Amino acid sequence: MVSAFEKEREAFYQTNRPQDGHDTRLRLRRKRRVPAQPYQYAEAANARNRFANAAQSDAFFAVAVPFDWVFGTVLELHVGLVNRQTAGSPVARMESSIHIYPDFNTATAIYNLETSVAVNVTLTQNVLTEWVRTVDPAVFPAGMSHDAVLFWDVTRQGAHASDTVNDYIEAFGGAWLEYYGVYDYDNKLSE
């Protein structure tokens, strides 16, 4: 007798066969999170990600594409931003540039996935605001592997007319990558 679990599992395998040549038994996806490593701080003198007021300041983060990332699914870059000084809900003028080495082992050319995309982010005083940039798999370069490394340049354009935060902004908690990871339905190896 076949259990309900086995029927569900087999139905899942039959409808979720990958096109990338990977093991068809490793298809169940779970959303996961990994930290991004800062490699240049916005306030470099204090090794702190605090974006200056009335000036351009950049923070750079790097994160390796996790080995269990499911090819063809989105990658999301997140950063927590906090306005500690300006009352109300002022706007911060932020920019995002995302680059990738599709195969870090061979140090192939770097590809721009997103270049200086400007976004106004509302930052209510003393409230952590999560700013998210989603990378669509359609823009990934050919030959991208699990050895890929994402580089994220987070910029505050503090002198821009639309930036109404009148003091610094903190990148509280750093940055992280969220992705869909493989979950081994049979062996639960990924737990």
CATH 2.60.120 for domain 28-183, yes or no, is: yes
- Model's pTM, two decimal places? 0.78
pLDDT of residue 92: 96
pLDDT digits 0-9 by tens, 21-76: 555 444 556 788 999 988 877 676 666 778 889 999 989 999 998 888 888 888 99
pLDDT at residue number 34: 94
Q: Report how far apart, in Å, the C-alpha atoms of 79 and of each of 27, 66, 126, 180 are.
A: 28, 18, 15, 18
